Structure 1
């Protein structure tokens, strides 16, 4: 393991991240708010901190190995969460403690969207913009962006990409060179963001709100510049635009790449993961609409409107809101939280366990039922007509087991801090799935829970963003053996 090379990479990436503090400084100057000093100090701290990490090992050279890639990924998200919290901590508004500032920073960067803030409408524009920008940077992963410039720094990037890219298959590349892959992904990401912002602006948002919400929509982050989230605008057009881009961003970005490269959309319809994802969304939306209408919660039109938006928002793990779904009747709040465990497709900006894993688990379950009837039959698990390697199926089951075990342990930990069962299980689901809103005490804000609970949930957010194993592997003795 090349610790000096790892520290060099971390230092460089922290200095690169400091550039993200320049746009909020500009926003602060435009709106003449009082946070410019906090952002200037934060910029200096980020530059200095990154420099101090980089300078002692600036001459370190060497190709990153697979273990180095995991270590860089985990350290960077942890360190970045810490450095990203500085503006929140230094600003007079919202006047956060260190724990709250760190929670908000980690939530933004992991695109969880869980917040401890209240009175968001009254916060300085620069703080609001910074929160949205954290969502956007975390959406595709700032490491993937950094990988695009790694060749200029003399550092190989494939190990970082393998450790950072979500989904069960880690070694696939869209283009022969990893730098080209990262650039292609970010070009698609930036294009979707631009088009989304234009759509919001045309639909009636102010330019500031349109840009800000495009960041968190394409990132499936869920942060908003208003307490009422998307419901603040009370616009069907804005809601439909949001629904469209949440779904698009929850698809595997490889599908977008091939659509752009081949000028075709037919592969979306042929992709089994995309089809299953749409099936889950459609079924949940129809069921929610029926329950809301038949229980006279809303009329039929309003039921469809709210059911569509909340289903897509929760199932994709975006976490935007147009109404308080936690107050919906019967089993609907529980159902929507459960859909967040499925999350988006592999290779998307969504959270959760990923659609392809759930699809493989279901197919594996069906195979075991068939084996009861034909014990000697050789029945492969197939996706899209192709047999899936048994090693992949086994890895998916391992991931599923670890995910549920971690969920249970964290839920018990939250209950030990004094939280009730509903708040505990939904808070862990909201953070581990990178969803945002929960039920009970965390339906609108996480401000009321204790600091130990917030630290546990920060850990849950990192676990969810790094897909569990990337972080857990650091706690194994084998990882540190030479």
Structure 2
């Protein structure tokens, strides 16, 4: 391992992160509701810390190895998770414990959207902007930005890209150079954010709420500037804008890039993951809307469809926005929506969950095993779009699924041992490992009432889900540290 290179990278990224505290500082300056010194001093402190990490190893130049990539990604998210808590913990405008500040920071950066803060409507604009910005940076940005910048600093970035995206399509690049790929993803991400903000503004939000919610919509984070989330606005036009961009953000960004470059919708119609994801959402909307109307939760089809469709897209994309208190609905609907979050969005998107492509491959593999019972000697390759999928990918998907299930069950049992009831334990683990946010039971309103040990476990679970299991757990194997 190249320890100097790792410290150099972390130092650079920490210095870059310190610069992201400038926008909240500007918000404090504009609105004059507190926070200028909090964000100013935090930015200076984090920049100095990053500089001290970077300076001793600034002349080191080596290509990153695959182990370095995994270690940097995990350390990067961990360090920034703690660094992001600094402005919250030391803020003079909000009183929050160290555990809560770290929980909130990790929740933002991992785009989970689980909050421990009560009274969002009364927070200063600077802190509200900071929370939303954390999600936007975490959704796609920081690692991709680093991959685009690091090659210019003499540090290869492909290992970081592979460590950050361990899915079955990780080696597909949009451009010949990884830096060009990162820039292409950034352009799409930024374009969707601006379009979403404009849509919210035209639908009736003021410019602050429009940009703040566009950050968490495109990042599929779910943080809001109001305790009631999207329900605060009670506006069907705003909800429609949110549904459109939640759906777009949960689609593989490579499809967006290809479609935009070719000015054609054909890439979407040919992609099996997009088609399956769309069908799952449509089926979920029909079931939830019918169930809400049939059980007279809403007395008109229009209301049942409005609330059922919004919550289905929000959960299926793992965003976590709410236009109603879903915890009060008949228990079948909340549990169905939480189960949909396990599937999540598309690979190569900002969504959480296991990803649709993995479920497609698992279903095809299961179908093949059933057919093999009848034809044990037949050659039956698993195919996607008519192309055979290598067995090593199928094996990897099965391994991922197994680890996901084992991790989920183990963490849920640990939370129950720490005193949570079954409903709260199940829903909070699902909400954090899938980077969803909303939960049931004791966490139905928010996570404030949970004990500190539970919050630390759930913070680890957020990171586990954000790094898609393998990237984090590989560090706990003896072979990773063996020379």
User: Normalising by the residue count of structure 2, what TM-score does the alignment of the two structures yield?
Assistant: 0.99
Question: In the alignment, what sits opposite 2:138?
Answer: 138
1:364 aligns with: 365
Inter-partner Cα distance in structure 1 for 2:151 and 2:363: 41
Alpha-carbon shift at residue 45 of structure 1 (Å): 1.4
- 8 A Cα contact 1:28 1:36, kept in partner: yes
- Is the 2:415–2:454 contact (alpha carbons within 8 Å) kept by the matching residues of 1? yes
CA distance in 1, matches of 2:226, 2:154: 43
Cα deviations across residues 4-46 of structure 1 (Å, max 9, x unaligned)?
1111001000001111100000000000012111111110111
> Quick check: 1:33 aligned with 2:39?
no
Provide the rounded CA distance (Å) in 1 between the counterparts of 2:314 and 2:279. 15
* 1:197 matches 2:197: yes
Aligned-residue offset at 1:327: 1.4
| Residue 317 (1) aligns with residue 318 (2) | yes
Aligned-partner Cα distance in 1 for 2:15–2:141: 16
Question: Aligned-residue CA RMSD in angstroms?
Answer: 0.9
Match of 1:184 in 2: 184
Q: Deviations over 1:237-296 (max 9, x none)?
A: 110110000000000000011011111111101100000001110111100111101111
After superposition, residues 384-423 of structure 1 pair within 5 angstroms as 384-423=385-424
Partner residue in 2 for 1:432: 433
The answer to whether the Cα contact below 8 Å between 2:82 and 2:105 also exists between their aligned partners in 1 is: yes
Bigger shift: 79-88 or 381-390? Answer: 381-390
Q: Is the Cα–Cα contact under 8 Å of residues 116 and 447 in structure 1 kept in the other structure?
A: yes
Counterpart of 2:435 in 1: which secondary structure? coil
* Secondary structure of the corresponding residue to residue 85 of structure 1: helix
Residues 166 and 347 of structure 1 are in contact (CA less than 8 Å); yes or no, is this contact kept in structure 2?
Answer: no
Give matches, 1:44-63, under 5 Å. 44-63=44-63
CA distance in 2, matches of 1:34, 1:193: 27
* Contact 1:24/1:39 (8 A) holds in 2: yes
Distance in 2 separating the partners of 1:16 and 1:413: 37
- Unaligned ranges ≥5, structure 1: none
Give per-residue Cα distances to partners, 1:300-329, cap 9 Å, x unaligned: 110000010000001100000000112111
TM-score (norm 1): 0.99
User: 2:158: which partner in 1?
Assistant: 158
Q: Distance in 1 between matches of 2:103 and 2:93?
A: 16
In structure 1, the residue matched to 2:329 is 328
Pairing of 1:246-261 with structure 2 (within 5 A): 246-261=246-261
State the 1:61 CA deviation: 1.5
Q: Secondary structure at the match of 2:21?
A: helix
Unaligned runs of 5+ in 2: none
Q: Partners of 2:354 and 2:173 in 1: how far apart? A: 21
**Native 8 Å contact 1:166 1:348 kept in 2:** no
Deviations 1:175-226 (A, max 9, x none): 0111111011001100000000000000000000000000000000000000
1:146-192 superposed Cα distances (whole Å, 9 cap, x missing partner):
11111221111111111112522322211011111101100110000
| Number of residue equivalences | 482
1:9 aligns with 2:9: yes
| Structure 2 residue 210 is matched with structure 1 residue 210 | yes
Q: Does the CA contact (< 8 Å) of 1:141 and 1:164 recur in 2?
A: no
Q: Conserved in 2, the CA contact under 8 Å of 1:361 and 1:397?
A: yes
Tell me which residue corresponds to 2:347. 346
Q: What secondary structure does 2:20 align onto?
A: helix
344-353 or 90-99, which moves further after superposition? 90-99
Deviation at 1:94, TM superposition (A): 2.3
Question: What do the CA deviations read for 1:395-436 (whole angstroms, capped 9, x no partner)?
Answer: 000000000100011101111111100000100000000000
Structure 1 runs (4+) greater than 6 angstroms displaced:
none
> Offset at 1:92?
2.4
- 1:266 maps to which residue? 266
Q: Does 1:233 align with 2:233?
A: yes
- Deviation string 1:64-120 (CA, Å, 9 cap, x unpaired) is 011101011000000000111001101123211111000000000000000001110
Are the aligned partners of 2:317 and 2:352 in contact in 1 as well (CA < 8 Å)? yes
47-56 or 240-249: bigger deviation: 47-56
Return the alpha-carbon distance in structure 2 between the equivalents of residues 94 and 417 of structure 1. Answer: 28
Instruction: Tell me what 1:276 maps to.
Output: 276
Distance 1:235 1:270 in 2: 35
Question: Per-residue deviation at 1:330?
Answer: 4.1
Question: What is the CA distance between 1:383 and its match in structure 2?
Answer: 1.5
Q: Distance in 2 between matches of 1:332 and 1:50?
A: 47
User: Deviations 1:371-395 (Å, cap 9, x if unpaired)?
Assistant: 1122221111111221111110010
Report 1:89-108 matches (<5 A).
89-108=89-108
Output the CA distance in 2 between the equivalents of 1:247 and 1:175: 25
- 2:445 and 2:44 map into 1 onto residues whose CA distance is 34
Q: Distance in 1 between matches of 2:454 and 2:432?
A: 12
Query: What is the DSSP-based 3-state SS (H/G/I as helix, E as strand, rest coil) of the residue aligned with 2:348?
Result: coil
Offset, 1:475: 0.7
